[in-house]
Amino acid sequence: MTNERTPPLTGVTVLEIGAFMAAPFAALQLADLGAKVIKVEHSTGGDPVRQTGPFLGTESSPFVRINRNKRSVALDLKSPDARSAFLRLVERADVLVENLRPGAMRRLGLGYQDLREINPRLVYASGSGWGQDGPLANLPGLDIMAQARSGLMSITGHPGGPPAKVGVPICDLVCGLYLALAVTAALRERDRSGTGQHIDVSLFEAGVSFAVWEAGKYFATGEVGGPMGSAHQSNAPYQAVHSSDGYVTIGATTPRNWQAFCGALGLTRLLADPRYADAFSRLENRAELIKSIETVTSTMSTAEIIERLNKAGVPCAPIADYGEVFTDEHLAARGFFWDAPHPTLGSVRQLGSPMRMSETPVQRAGAGPVLGADTREVLLAAGCSAAEIDHLVAAGAALADDVGGATTTSSATTTTTRR
């Protein structure tokens, strides 16, 4: 059944001045929720992700996924004429999301204080490596530096092994999520006060915010955690264990699950062992516990372990690679993956939004746009004349890709499937 209600942020206009990950990922969340996101890119080259492979024809495969449901306006904001055109967009916008180095927007005359004079209702969200102020503010900061300084790399990997980062750019991504969350909160506040505000989210602090177990330990005992492989900081057994054909993850941390786990795998002898009498004891004796568990699990296939534990109601899962994830039948049954239209590539498979809303579904419109695909249409709607736009294009201060075709979301059908 198709739900024809509009997404929750329909009517909200977002300007994105973003590169790589944090701001584009934040704007992606807002676009999925129905906001009209206008991605303002440099007229030469655009977002650097456009040059990141693999490529589908001349288009970046990562770009057309990270930037779905957006429009592309290509302007050189160092050009006075292009900046004037951009300010017309600001007059009509609700939100601006940017992740340039702190001070860069201000040097362009586009800082928060500058733009609030033009549009006091503007919610201005800044993502950066280290924040807009403080001793580190002016340093370049990428995801791996934030993972390093935030402590994440100190607890990732195996004891005695080399430093390892989380496999995805987690600080970039969660910074984007915090930006999107803060934007929605600021819009709610604007409903009450009538004015916008400045939002400052850093990769560094986003990474530190994950340290819920580590903070609980350090501020209580002064103990500093270290890498533990797949094991949990405070519970056991809760980790990956050997099977005969690989590994399987298990989580038997409650009294009920611990008893069911031992019964399902023929380990009932462990129930009478005083070393494993309660959760704290099992944690203190984790090394011996895991050895005992693996004497059994290493003789069984992953599929057999999963079948037994699922039947007993014990949390468990195989370790899937992304080839398996992207063809997972559970995700397929829930309609998680979907195909977005693109003017030159046809259909482009997309990761779905995890946000499932029964009454106001997320938007599923176009794949990431061709550079400058919407420059002309968006600037005309903002009040620029055709002659002004032609002048910008002729001067190299704007790019209008009329050949590639606009990839606007205005005419796209937004649907969701009830299951």
Q: Which residues are catalytic?
A: 172
CA atoms within 13 Å, Cβ hemisphere of 200: 11
- Per the rule left: phi > 0, alpha: psi between -120 and 50, beta: everything else, 59 is beta
Residue type for position 138: N
Q: Give the DSSP per-residue string, 265-325.
A: TT-GGGGG-GGGSSHHHHHHTHHHHHHHHHHHHTTS-HHHHHHHHHHHT--EEE---HHHH
Reading the block at residue 372, the tokens are 């400058």
Question: Strand, coil or helix: what is 140?
Answer: coil
- Say how far apart CA 87 and CA 81 lie, in whole Å: 10
- Say how far apart CA 284 and CA 130 lie, in whole Å: 37
Reading the block at residue 380, the tokens are 């005309």
- Say how far apart CA 282 and CA 285 lie, in whole Å: 5
Contacts of 112 (CB under 8 A, 6+ apart): 105, 124, 126, 198
List Cα–Cα distances, 292 to 30, 219, 266, 282, 360, in angstroms: 49, 33, 11, 12, 50
Is residue 132 a contact partner of residue 126, using CB atoms and an 8 Å limit? yes
- Say how far apart CA 170 and CA 160 lie, in whole Å: 23
Which sign, positive or negative, has the C-alpha torsion 80, 84, 89, 94? positive
Reading the block at residue 290, the tokens are 């895991």
Contacts of 303 (CB under 8 A, 6+ apart): 318
Beta-sheet strand order (sheet of 238-243): 238-243, 246-251, 316-318
- Say how far apart CA 248 and CA 301 lie, in whole Å: 9
